[in-house]
Amino acid sequence: MKIIRAPTLARAHELAVKAVLEKGWVLNTEDEEATIEYEEIALDIENPFSEPMASPCSRFQQRFLEQYADNLLNGSEAAFEYDYHRRLFDWGETLTQDGADVHVDQIAYIVRKLKESPATRRGVAVTWNPAVDESLDDCPCLQLVQCILRDGKLQMKVVFRSNDMLSAAGANMYALVHLQKRIADEIGAAYGRYTHIALVPHVYYKRDLNDIVPFCKKGAAMQPVPEVCSLCGECSRASLR
């Protein structure tokens, strides 16, 4: 596992993209999408609300990120196969217990558990629902959220089974640290370290080629694998392959 420690979310995002594109390998997904995939990455940010929270290289900037965070925290009217708000605040779709539908507010549970037992390691929420997700074409990438209270600060650790580091990770991190702050506020604590673990980090290098260019800066910021450079053609590295 590659561990990346960064002073801001923005820098963590940039370093994660760099790691995948420089050290990764080509793999077509089960949906036949061309990716550069890499080994597990853990992003560690001591103060996740330090600016900049959004990388200037990313096309997803403040307005989009704020809306994405609001959707995670408060829900959205849009219809998706799944959404993280429902999975965290109302888990249990299609399930019943003793004849009643299952509705579990996992964030309320985390808040309650931390108030009852500040040293707990059980402040955990999950998103995966086997009754639903085994048959979904688009199933949750975020799998687990854990909150612990240490030295008066609420730490959050999240695990993604798969994470698009170029187009999704920046928004994912932005929204989740706002969830972290909400939980910290509800238990009367400061917020602390945020750790973002991607078990299968990747970049859709053909689909999102135009979004790679600002991160790469024509080879000045990173030197991607030859497959990316030959496809891009923006600098002298295009002849590598």
As annotated, the active-site residues are 141
Structure tokens at 11: 């820098």
**How far apart are alpha carbons 234 and 222 in whole angstroms?**
13
Q: How many residues does the chain have?
A: 241
Nearest CA among 162, 158, 171, 168 for reference residue 197: 158
Phi and psi (nearest 5°) for 80? -130, 165
| Cis bond before residue 48 (omega within 30° of 0) | no
Distance between CA 109 and CA 115 in Å, rounded? 10
Consecutive H or E run containing 20:
helix 9-23
